Structure 1
Amino acid sequence: MSNTKDPKLTGRHNPGILQAPAPRQKLRSRRDSSAEPKFAPRRTQAERSETTRKRLLDAAVKLIRLKGFGGLRTIEVASVAGVSRGALMHHFPSKHALVVAVLTYVNEMDFAQSTRRAQLARSSKDPIEEIIQDAKNFFFGDHFFIGLAIAMSDESTRRLRRETHQFSRQTRFSIEAAWLDTLISSGIPKQLASDVLALTLSAVRGFSVRRLIEDDPEQFSRLMNVWRDIIRQHLAASIPGKSRRQDRKS
């Protein structure tokens, strides 16, 4: 007796029966993708030029500190910076122009760094210590010796020394004025603050130059501790109640 029921479909493929194609998966466009590739924005010509200029200045700073002003060669500056001689000449057409730019560059950095420290030191319990650390960073660093090398160069660089002396001098005076304001804001009378500042800077500068004949960090640290004690005693004797106010802050 035949089975009149329809046969059940199985999962096996029947070559005699046409089957509807499986639905195609919709491709997600790149625009709809949440994982779009990220591309860094292209730098402008001005940005690329400024990057090259900074690399040249940093290379010149390194070489002047290493070889002195007399040993500076522009071709070597280009090599250390990793740029072509033509790129160097585009930014600095002469050694004179390069060195003037170097001095301007380092003075701008020193001014920004030191005046910021002086401003922050207004809330410090010990602004004298802040002055010593800022002076040490400058006078024991490359920038001071670069300026010193140019200042001590021979008569052939008279024009260079004349051009760079004025703004280097102005930078240091501006930094000292910022530190003077910090000391005055801590309650030290102006003349006394000016004397303390000048003596402290002179002490640190003197030890910096002494490194040319004897580099003794332990001696510097010990003697600067002595100088701090002398300054505290002098301020306490010169300003009635100064030591008591300092103790309350501490």
Structure 2
Amino acid sequence: MTTTEKKRRTQAERSAETREKILQATIDLLFEQGNARLTTAGVDERAGVSSGARVHHFRSKVDLVVEATKHTYDRAAELGRQRAEKARTSPNPLREYAQDCLSVYFDWPFIAALEVVVTARTDEDLRLRLHPVLENFHNTMRTTWIGSLVAAGYDPAVAEEDLALTLNLIRGMAVNTLWQRDNDRHIALLDAWCAERAGRIHLRRSA
């Protein structure tokens, strides 16, 4: 490897590191302060970069929040794929799916993204740019987890229905947690829900 090639690689690594710092700073501030109070100057300060360095990667606040949301859900999707693969041999794969959803919707990824989604309701430019990010995440997870449930013995139509019902149940609980901290109660309800659905599937297999 020549000296020039080594230098070029180092510059690329530094650029990737700066980009990661900026995105993580955006996510942290969305979680801590909300989208309304988020500023590019605040992101620069939290990330420890100059405005010029940030503009090189993200020119506007919209660029920041869209890419930060994508970054967040890309990481969640990768973890989801790993969990879905393991769930193929689980006695209750729906509970494994619920656990995967809990890691997203009961934690900072959902809160940070929700801040952006609420703003997008009345911001057409943001909505149009955010929509494909969220659609890609949900379509990827739906396809991945349907495959796991089917591999575990579910009928495809039943798998799709159970996933949709469980996801919407958890999202509703997640909104409640913003002002009502009762995670133990929510988890107990999820355990009961998943056990009931698993029992129904077991009876169907035995019929």
Scaled by the length of structure 2, the TM-score of the pair is 0.89
Q: Could you tell me which residue of structure 2 aligns to residue 236 of structure 1?
A: 202
Correspondences of 1:19-168 after superposition (within 5 Å): 44-153=10-119, 157-168=123-134
Q: Could you tell me which residue of structure 2 aligns to residue 207 of structure 1?
A: 173
2:139 is aligned with 1:173: yes
- Tell me, in whole angstroms, the C-alpha distance in 1 between the residues paired with 2:101 and 2:136: 16
| Shift in CA distance, 154/139, structure 1 to aligned 2, threshold 3 Å | closer
| Shift in CA distance, 164/233, structure 1 to aligned 2, threshold 3 Å | same
Q: Could you tell me which residue of structure 2 aligns to residue 192 of structure 1?
A: 158
Task: Count matched residues.
Answer: 201
- Percent of aligned pairs sharing the same letter: 30
| Shift in CA distance, 84/194, structure 1 to aligned 2, threshold 3 Å | same
Query: Equivalent residue of 1:47, what SS?
Result: helix
Compute the displacement of 1:154 (Å). Answer: 6.3
Scaled by the length of structure 1, the TM-score of the pair is 0.75
Q: Whose RCO is larger (CA < 8 A, sep 6+)?
A: 2
2:190 is aligned with 1:224: yes
Q: Describe the superposition over 1:36-83 as per-residue Cα deviations: whole angstroms up to 9, x where unpaired.
A: xxxxx8761011011001000000000011111111111111111111
**Contact conserved, 1:57 with 1:102, CA < 8 A, in 2?**
yes
**Contact conserved, 2:92 with 2:198, CA < 8 A, in 1?**
no
Structure 2 letter corresponding to 1:118? A
Q: Describe the superposition over 1:104-163 as per-residue Cα deviations: whole angstroms up to 9, x where unpaired.
A: 212221221111211122132331221111010011122222222222116662201111
Query: Equivalent residue of 1:215, what SS?
Result: coil
Instruction: Name which one, 1 or 2, has greater alpha-carbon Rg.
Output: 1
Structure 1 letter corresponding to 2:153? G
Greater CA drift, 231-240 or 147-156: 147-156
- Tell me, in whole angstroms, the C-alpha distance in 2 between the residues paired with 1:156 and 1:237: 47
Structure 2 letter corresponding to 1:161? R
More helix by share: 2
**Contact conserved, 1:150 with 1:161, CA < 8 A, in 2?**
no
Structure 1 letter corresponding to 2:167? L
Query: Equivalent residue of 1:123, what SS?
Result: coil
Q: Give the gaps of 5 or more residues in structure 1.
A: 1-40, 242-250
- How well do the aligned residues superpose, as a CA RMSD in angstroms? 1.9
| Shift in CA distance, 161/119, structure 1 to aligned 2, threshold 3 Å | same
